[in-house]
Amino acid sequence: MIPEHFYPFWTVYDSLGQKYCDCSHEEYAIRTLELHEGEEFTYRRIDAPKPLPPHIVDVTATAEKTNCLGNRDYLQQLRDYIMISERV
């Protein structure tokens, strides 16, 4: 993870879209493009990632909230369907 004080920075890409270098200032990215004039280099500003929302989501499951793979009736129905489909 990049420390907060490194943002923003600029990434320079070559003509194939592969990362060429990172620059601490936009003027350095522009200078890199000038040094590679005619080679179709590009650059992009990279900002710090946005923080996650502050709310908390409970993701624990209970016995009442079983998924379809834990339901034996569903599995039997699926097996029956596959058997019928293979016969057709």
pTM of the model: 0.57
Distance CA 49, CA 24 (A): 17
Whether the pLDDT of residue 75 is over 80: the answer is no
Q: What is the Cα 32 distance to its own chain's centre?
A: 28
Q: Which residues sit opposite 19 in a β-bridge? A: 13
Distance CA 46, CA 22 (A): 10
List pLDDT tens digits, range 39-71.
Answer: 999 999 999 988 777 776 667 766 555 555 566
SS3 content of the chain, % helix, strand, coil (to 5): 35, 15, 45
Domain spans of the chain, in order of start: 4-46
Q: Identify the pLDDT of residue 70.
A: 60
More confident residue, 18 or 54: 18
Amino acid at residue number 81: Y
